[in-house]
Amino acid sequence: MRVGVLTGGGDCPGLNAVIRAVVRKGIKDYGYEFVGFRDGWRGPLEGDTMPLDRAAVGGILPRGGTILGSSRTNLMKIDGGVERVKDNMAALGIDALVAIGGEDTLGVATQLHERDVNVVGVPKTIDNDLNATDFTFGFDTAVNIATEAIDRLHTTAESHHRALVVEVMGRHAGWIALHSGMAAGANVILIPERPFDIDEVVAHVESRFTTKYAPILVVAEGAHPKDGQMELSHGETDSFGHVRLGGIGQRLSEEIERRTGKEARSVVLGHVQRGGTPSAFDRVLATRLGVNAIEAVHDKSYGKMVALQGTDIVRVDLSAATEKLKTVPDARFAEAEVFFG
């Protein structure tokens, strides 16, 4: 049996660990042959491949990024895209695909399965917003990186008596902001699920200054104020219809400084959150997901995504994984509010 493997969407710590587990398990236990598709869905669309054998995956467990490369190619927006993928798979002798990605990558995988392509999904996103799985690999690493950065910013903020606004990733879901903000003792956490009141934010910042401590605000890139309070501008749109975000941290720091008269600075962590070596938790989770993904292929359990539920790896329908985003519930945010102040 010949199996294709691809990684799509944003890069993420732990991708290489999944690839390694899929290939090693598949070769050792089932005698499968593997082909890597380069740059997400562009690979099968254009027939761009690289060999995946034991030598190719040697030593990649601790490496960040992905040896296969990635892209945000949406083959569903390309005329004849599905047919081209099917033709290329047939020409290459590919019997099944393991697609490793987030909402967009697995959304394409879902539609391919509905068009009779044998595909198994593996959940990947630092945002932790995929449905039907408790955690996605990459999230733990991103939270650890953000937490360390916020820890360091506490000292410089207090030294200069200034407010610091830390912008982290999180387009629709505020999991990284919530967890890193709680872990690092942030005074304000702003997430996309709860539009914020700028007056309340400024009042909280001012009260923090009266205690002789400098405020730290953690804001997800997708956080936004209540209607009519602040104007925000965004960038271009990608092939999946996502607007390029970024700028809420800078805009918020400007507003705080204008209203309070206190110095405020913004720090955008950006892609540093998704780069570098994965945490131990993410390496183990990625390995378990990879092993279970190739077992699903062996069982011909196509149209499924392997997921972490509790401490078990289970199989769920791809459609269930992508039908909605997993956002921060009000109850979880309310638990975090005891840390604020």
Residues marked as catalytic: 127
Query: Per the annotation, does 265 bind a ligand?
Result: yes
The alpha carbon torsion through 218, 221, 222, 224 (nearest 10 deg) reads 60
Query: Per the annotation, does 208 bind a ligand?
Result: no
Query: Per the annotation, does 283 bind a ligand?
Result: no
Query: Per the annotation, does 54 bind a ligand?
Result: no
Query: Per the annotation, does 274 bind a ligand?
Result: yes
Query: Per the annotation, does 83 bind a ligand?
Result: no
Query: Per the annotation, does 235 bind a ligand?
Result: no
Query: Per the annotation, does 127 bind a ligand?
Result: yes
Backbone angles phi, psi at 336, to 5 degrees: -75, -25
Buried b (16+ CB within 10 A) or exposed e, 249-275: bbbbbebbbebbebebbbbbbeeebbe
Query: Cβ distance 45 to 112 under 8 Å?
Result: no
Alpha-carbon gap, residue 243 to 235, rounded angstroms: 6
Query: Per the annotation, does 272 bind a ligand?
Result: yes
Alpha-carbon gap, residue 139 to 169, rounded angstroms: 11
Query: Per the annotation, does 271 bind a ligand?
Result: yes
Query: Per the annotation, does 162 bind a ligand?
Result: yes
- β-strand pairing of 188-190 with 96-101: unpaired
Query: Per the annotation, does 150 bind a ligand?
Result: no
Q: Which long-range contacts (CB under 8 A, 24 or more apart) does 22-28 make?
A: 22/98, 22/290, 22/291, 22/293, 22/294, 23/52, 23/53, 23/54, 23/56, 23/57, 24/54, 24/57, 25/290, 25/291, 25/294, 25/295, 26/294, 26/297, 26/298, 27/53, 27/54
Query: Per the annotation, does 10 bind a ligand?
Result: yes
Buried b (16+ CB within 10 A) or exposed e, 63-89: bbbbbbbbbbbbbeeeeebbebbbebb
Query: Per the annotation, does 171 bind a ligand?
Result: yes
Binding residues: 10, 103, 125-127, 162, 169-171, 221, 265, 271-274
Binding residues for substrate: 125-127, 162, 169-171, 221, 265, 271-274
Binding residues for Mg(2+): 103
Binding residues for diphosphate: 10
